[in-house]
Amino acid sequence: MPNLKPLRIILFILLLLPAQLCIAQKHYTVKQIPDPKATGGPGYVSNPDAVLSESDVAWLNQIIARLEEQTNVQIAVVAVNDFDEHAEVFDFALQLFRTWGIGKAHADNGLLLFVATNRREYRFITGYGLEGLLPDAALKKIGDNYMVPAFKEGAYGSGITNALTAIADYLSQEGNKNELDQLMLKQKHVEKPWMETIGICVLIILAAIPILRSTKKHMPFVAGKTNRTNGYDKVITVGCGGLFIIGFVLVFLSAFTIGFGWLKIITLAAVPYILYGLIAVGLFFRYYAALGANRNFYKDDENFANAVQQLNKVAWWYGILSPLILIGIFIEEIRRRNIVKRFKAPLDTRKQPMLRINRDNNKDGKPYITSGQLAEENAGVYIYDIWVSADGKENKVIANQGDNFDDFTDCPQCKFKTLCKPKTITLVNATYSREGKGKEVRRCDNCNYEELIKMVVFPMLTKSSGSSGSSSSGSGSSSSSSSWGGGSSGGGGAGGKW
Element (H, E) at 398: strand 395-401
pLDDT value at residue 96 = 92
pTM above 0.85, yes or no: no
Task: Quick: pLDDT tens for 128-148.
Answer: 888 888 888 989 999 999 999
Read off the amino acid at residue 200: I
pLDDT value at residue 464 = 58
Cβ atoms of 47 and 35 within 8 Å: the answer is: no
Taking CA atoms, 305 is separated from 335, 336, 439, 456, in Å, by 9, 6, 41, 44
Contacts of 59 (CB under 8 A, 6+ apart): 157, 161
Between 467 and 401, residue with greater pLDDT: 401
Q: With cut-offs at 50, 70 and 90, classify the pLDDT of residue 470.
A: very low
Helix, strand, coil percentages in the chain from 3-state DSSP, rounded to 5: 50, 15, 35
- Dist. CA 27–CA 119, nearest whole Å: 11
pLDDT value at residue 422 = 93
Q: What does pLDDT average to over the chain?
A: 83
| 152-161, 235-244, 446-455: segment of lowest average pLDDT | 235-244
Q: Output phi, psi for 80, to 5 deg.
A: -135, 165
pLDDT value at 42 more than 70? no
pLDDT value at residue 476 = 36
pLDDT value at 224 more than 60? no
* First and final C-alpha spacing in the chain: 52
Dihedral through CA 250, CA 252, CA 254, CA 255, nearest 10? 160
| 91-95, 335-339, 375-379: segment of lowest average pLDDT | 335-339
The per-residue b/e assignment along 4-25, b for 16 or more CB within 10 angstroms, e otherwise, is eeeeeeeeeeeeeeeeeeeeee
pLDDT value at 92 more than 60? yes
pLDDT value at residue 299 = 87
DSSP string covering 404-428, please?
A: TGGGEE--TTT-SS-EEPPEEEEEE
**Percent of all residues in the chain with a pLDDT value above 70, rounded to a whole number:** 85
Task: Quick: pLDDT tens for 43-54.
Answer: 899 999 999 999
Between 475 and 357, residue with greater pLDDT: 357
State the CB neighbour count (10 A cutoff) for residue 247. 10
- Length of the chain (residues): 498
pLDDT value at residue 472 = 37
Q: With cut-offs at 50, 70 and 90, classify the pLDDT of residue 25.
A: low
Element (H, E) at 20: helix 4-22
Closest CA to 99 of 156, 29, 162: 29
Cβ atoms of 299 and 320 within 8 Å: the answer is: no
Q: With cut-offs at 50, 70 and 90, classify the pLDDT of residue 417.
A: very high
pLDDT value at residue 22 = 42
- Dist. CA 484–CA 78, nearest whole Å: 14
Task: Quick: pLDDT tens for 229-259.
Answer: 667 877 888 888 888 898 888 888 877 777 7
